[in-house]
Amino acid sequence: MGFFGWPRGVAYVSSLALSPFSSSVFHCFGTGTQNVIEACVTQGTQYLIYTSSMEVVGPNARGDPFFRGNEDTKYEVVHTEPYPVSKAKAERLVIEANGRAVEGGKQLVTCALRPTGIYGEHHPLMKQFYEKGLSTKKCLIRAVPASTEHGRVYVGNVSWMHLLVARKIQESPSTVSGQVYFCYDDSPYKSYEDFNMEFLGSCGFRMLGSRPLLPSFLLRFMALFNAFLQWLLKPLCNYTPILNPYTLTVVRTTFTVQTSKAKEHFGYQPLYSWEESRARTVKWLQEIDAQRDAGK
């Protein structure tokens, strides 16, 4: 999002480019984040904002639901996969660094934002779903119950929240010091499949079945098989399938947030409505679809 001016003197750390299913995230999120903290200390940078993830909380490995929860909702965090474990470690490093002395005699002020599932223009997973759907003639098979709800957030609103907290952390450090915030907007709560169809449907995609057509045991077997292949091929290549035991648990587990903490602390309100967020994402996918048709 190139239209927001980033406040000077504020460090921002995120590692969104890495595949979340790769074991290399341990090094990036852990060691990389610690290096950023040390750089802030030695360079006298006073403010540090970390882009965390809802997945530092859940869904946990047991698939326990998190329904309309907030930052203070009790939830047993049980993770085994590299992405949530390493993200949680990185967030903890940033929050624990709050109050640390930096060059020049001042103190480091830190906070973390936890976006729910991000969507929007140029999202690689959305494009991947589009491309996979083409191989089945734009027919998608329902695999997850429609009653499973997830919170999603538009990328422009994620950027907007970062800008607002970056201003607040300088104007009133004590307000956001050491705090974590879920990053959310007014996007509807739906299953991953039904939410994605809000955009893919504009390109002629159809969802087959009002209930899951693939049995749970088959999905579980496919996820375990992919995990086995990932382990088997690790010495040869970085095989990172979308479906694995962790992602299967995520899509089959309700995880929604309902909080006003960011609004109360630094005046956050979504910059983009659901209607505008949807329209922007649909336009992008339709452009991809038109380019594909033109290339036939």
Render each residue's pLDDT in the chain as its tens digit; 296 residues. Answer: 333 444 555 666 665 444 444 545 555 566 889 999 999 999 999 999 999 999 999 999 899 999 999 999 999 999 888 889 999 999 999 999 999 999 999 999 999 999 999 999 999 989 989 998 998 999 998 989 999 999 999 999 999 999 999 999 999 999 999 999 999 999 999 999 999 999 999 999 999 988 888 888 998 999 899 989 988 998 888 888 888 888 899 999 999 999 999 999 999 999 999 999 999 999 999 999 998 877 75
What are the start-end ranges of the H helices in 1-123? 25-26, 33-43, 82-96
Q: Residue 51 belongs to what H/E stretch? A: strand 47-51
Strand locations in 217-279, DSSP E?
Answer: 255-257
CB 170 within 8 A of CB 111: no
pLDDT at 9: 59
pLDDT at 25: 54
CB-based contacts of 226, cutoff 8 Å, min separation 6:
241, 243, 244
pLDDT at 29: 63
CB 145 within 8 A of CB 209: no
pLDDT at 197: 95
Residues involved in catalysis? 83
Structural domains for the chain: 10-285 (3.40.50.720)
Cβ atoms within 10 Å, residue 122:
10
DSSP 44: T
pLDDT at 80: 85
